[in-house]
Amino acid sequence: MITKKSKYIIDTQELLNEDILKKIKAFCFQKTDSDIKSISNWILENWRIDLTLDQDIILGYLKDWSNIEGYAIGMCRPKNNFESSILIQIFNELKIPFTISAGRTNLTGSATPNGGFIISTEKLNRSKPTVKNNHVLCSPSSLLEDMRQEVLNETNSEMYYPVDPTSRKEATIGGTISCNASGFVPGKKGATRHWVRGLDIILPNGKFLSCKRGEYISKNNFFQIDGNKIKIPEYNRPKIKNASGPYTGCDGDIDFVDLIVGSEGMFGLITNCSLFIESRPRSFLDLFIILDSEKNAFSLFHFLNTQNKIETLNAFEYFGYNCQKYMNNKQYFFNKNSEVGVYLQIPIMEQSEDQKCSEWSSLLLNSNCNIHGDNIYVLNDKKSWDLFFNSRHSIPENALKESKKLGGVSIITDIIVPKENFAQLIEGTHRLIKNSKIEYLLFGHLGDCHLHFHMIPEKREEITAKKTYDQIVDLSSSLGGVYSAEHGTGRRKKNDFIKCYGYEAVRQLYNIKKSLDPNELLNSGNIIT
């Protein structure tokens, strides 16, 4: 939203005084990263920043959920903006790469260190989330689910933060902003971007910037930061649920907040956040519906879409091919192995639960999708809901565990295409994976026409699996889609970015990265660098 007060000129703040800056420069002069022991001792002596070179401790930070191997010479856990700025300033002086690491639940290797230091956000500006009218102020290190619960507690369940990725109990707020993570809610409201009100950031040069949505808007696709013109990328990002590379000015000028959201930490360290919250529906009707085929599950989507019901839902999740095999407690939900399921969460504003339930029962029974009354489960007591949540969460978790057991790399597609090409994408992808004979399952966000094919190759099938994955990404591009709707690019999907957007887009991203991070130190190896 552009207001009269919106500016494209940004002045950052120096958090370190002249004496400290001089001291750092003098100490770092002619030092290299081979003097790392003396450098770390000096940091400890002068500022008592939590920092270690102990590889036994660092080991726990070398891998994220992508399972890609990383390496690092050191790890630090700054407690506040000042400590973060000191560290980043020193890394710049010594040209030491540094990687931001939070909950490490990303699936693309975006928090996997590529040498240098790890900056763990686990102690950063720790504080209890605080609700103020229509927003919540929080630390990037808070776990998303803790913040969501705190909002409910503080507002007597009248307000809530609706973004609910499956990993919400392990992912941090900083991580979900950086990845623009999304959850069950279909449409724009399901992704983090919609809810970000303001951010505090330490840029890769150690300077501090606080920005609110609407405060800084690019002008002719430029920002001016501390006198330097920064050109924002303009490559064309399809207007669908999209986490493939940073936001661009393809449709005109953009908010600085949007440049940071979804940029996977390549432009700075988020040190504090302000997120919008909204009124919580009085209650929800949670339904799990068993269907006899994928065809009928997709027909249900089309039926509800024609009834304009999709955008009213808080969740429309699909449990498709082979999900039962990887789902804990499947016996509570399914009768036959061939069945698939959908989960609907329906907000209740004014009606009673019974009224809502009978309204939806008759809608579903009249959908012509072969749904019978005894195939609809109401999950409205806490026990059923917890059982369902754990079962839902167990699917990717068990599939990832199976991959680890087989010693192979699990490959999860995150492809998405415009809704009109969805059926073609799903049919083509089933065909490609079936031809490769690789084990897989299918689940995801049917409300957004965004499903994940999770391939579980054995070690000997890895090359075939990678080839198949490439063919799937090509298929999604040919249907006007992108390779990532929610997981991002990281290190694993750099090639997909090039295939999707081309080398001109890489050049544009590289230019802005160079302008903000001339030494290419921050999160090096991510997306394009």
Ligand X SMILES: Cc1cc2nc3c(=O)[nH]c(=O)nc-3n(C[C@H](O)[C@H](O)[C@H](O)COP(=O)(O)OP(=O)(O)OC[C@H]3O[C@@H](n4cnc5c(N)ncnc54)[C@H](O)[C@@H]3O)c2cc1C
- Binding residues for ligand X, rule: CB under 6 A, are 64-65, 100-107, 110-111, 121, 140, 165-167, 171-172, 174-176, 178-179, 181-183, 264-265, 269-270, 396-397, 486-487, 523, 526
CB 497 within 8 A of CB 527: yes
Nearer to ligand X, 211 or 363 (CB): 211
Rounded CA separation 64/86 (Å): 26
| Closest to 461 in 3D by CA, of 395, 399, 411 | 411
Q: Tokens 């075939």 — which residue?
A: 464
Q: Tell me the two tokens of residue 37.
A: 């022991």
CB of residue 128 to ligand X, shortest distance in Å: 18
CB 108 within 8 A of CB 492: yes
Nearer to ligand X, 264 or 439 (CB): 264
Nearer to ligand X, 476 or 526 (CB): 526
Nearer to ligand X, 191 or 371 (CB): 191
| Closest to 447 in 3D by CA, of 346, 334, 357, 325 | 346
Q: What is the DSSP string of 128-150?
A: --EEETTEEEE-TTSBHHHHHHH
Q: Which residue is nearest to ligand X (CB)?
A: 175
CB of residue 512 to ligand X, shortest distance in Å: 16
Nearer to ligand X, 81 or 167 (CB): 167
Rounded CA separation 166/225 (Å): 37
CB 490 within 8 A of CB 264: yes
Nearer to ligand X, 357 or 442 (CB): 442
| Closest to 315 in 3D by CA, of 164, 202, 109 | 164
CB of residue 265 to ligand X, shortest distance in Å: 3
Amino acid 446 reads L
Q: Tokens 């694993």 — which residue?
A: 492
Nearer to ligand X, 28 or 68 (CB): 68
CB of residue 314 to ligand X, shortest distance in Å: 14
CB of residue 175 to ligand X, shortest distance in Å: 2
CB of residue 150 to ligand X, shortest distance in Å: 17
Rounded CA separation 124/68 (Å): 25
CB of residue 206 to ligand X, shortest distance in Å: 14
H/E element holding 428?
helix 422-436
Nearer to ligand X, 28 or 111 (CB): 111
CB of residue 527 to ligand X, shortest distance in Å: 9
Write the CA distances from 145 to 46, 47, 151, 293, integer angstroms.
36, 33, 10, 33
Write the CA distances from 394 to 87, 186, 328, integer angstroms.
38, 21, 6
| Closest to 328 in 3D by CA, of 269, 399, 265, 270 | 399
Nearer to ligand X, 230 or 357 (CB): 230
Specify the DSSP class assigned to residue 191.
Answer: B
CB of residue 176 to ligand X, shortest distance in Å: 4
